[in-house]
Amino acid sequence: MQAEFVLDTMHHLINASRGAEQQFLLYARQARDDGMRERFTERAAQAREATAALLAHVDQLGGKLPMKAALLHALQNGWVRLRVALLGQSDEAWLKECDRTEAALLRRYRAVMQTSVLPSPVQMTVDRQYHTWQRIHHQMRTMQTSLKAST
């Protein structure tokens, strides 16, 4: 039961990281400012690295990732596109969506950290990733504040 719980927990974080990667790539394609495009691309790469690290733990634990994740990502990306279309495609709108993506990812990590007993190597990875996402989220909020101040 413990192994199944750990694998399920890992799958939730992997799905969140993959979803974040896809959303950041979407933001990068749509951003007008080159600096923002670069930052979104970097965030997508960081999410991809986080996913790879989590997948390595799943492999070590003998687990497999469920196939339903691809459908969830497609639905999530469609929803993001719709929301941004309604908000407008300004860089400020993309930053707001990025803020939502990061906040959701942080909530997911925080929930895992508060409620889960994970094997030590997995816990260390989750803790490290959480603090990285927290730092990134702060940087993006600073960028959002700067953009608001300049307009």
What are the domain boundaries of the chain? 2-150
C-alpha 113 chain-centroid distance: 16
- Of the pLDDT bands very low, low, confident and very high (cuts 50, 70, 90), residue 50 is very high
- Which range is least confidently modeled, 84-88, 119-123, 137-141? 84-88
Both tokens assigned to 121: 């190597």
Query: Which residue carries 């991809």 as its tokens?
Result: 48
Compute the average pLDDT of residues 85-114.
81
- Angle, CA 70 vertex, CA 67 and CA 74 arms, to 5°: 155
Please check the confidence at residue 130 and state whether its pLDDT lies above 90.
yes
pTM above 0.85? no
Percentage of the chain with pLDDT > 90? Answer: 23
Q: Looking at residues 80-86, what average pLDDT do you find?
A: 66
- In angstroms, the CA 90 to CA 48 distance is 25
More confident residue, 36 or 89: 36
Q: State the average pLDDT over residues 37-64.
A: 90
Residues with Cβ within 8 Å of residue 50, at least 6 apart in sequence:
17, 129, 132, 133
The predicted pLDDT at position 49 comes to 95
Q: Which two tokens stand for residue 113?
A: 């950290």
What CATH code is assigned to 2-150? 1.20.1260.10
pLDDT at residue 1 in the model: 44
Q: What is the dihedral of CA 127, 132, 138, 141, to 10 degrees?
A: -120
Mean pLDDT of the chain: 82
Radius of gyration (Cα) for the chain, nearest Å?
16
Q: Using alpha carbons, list the distances in angstroms from residue 87 to 55, 93, 145.
A: 35, 6, 18
The whole-angstrom separation of Cα 85 and Cα 111 is 31
Question: Token pair of 35, please?
Answer: 């600096």
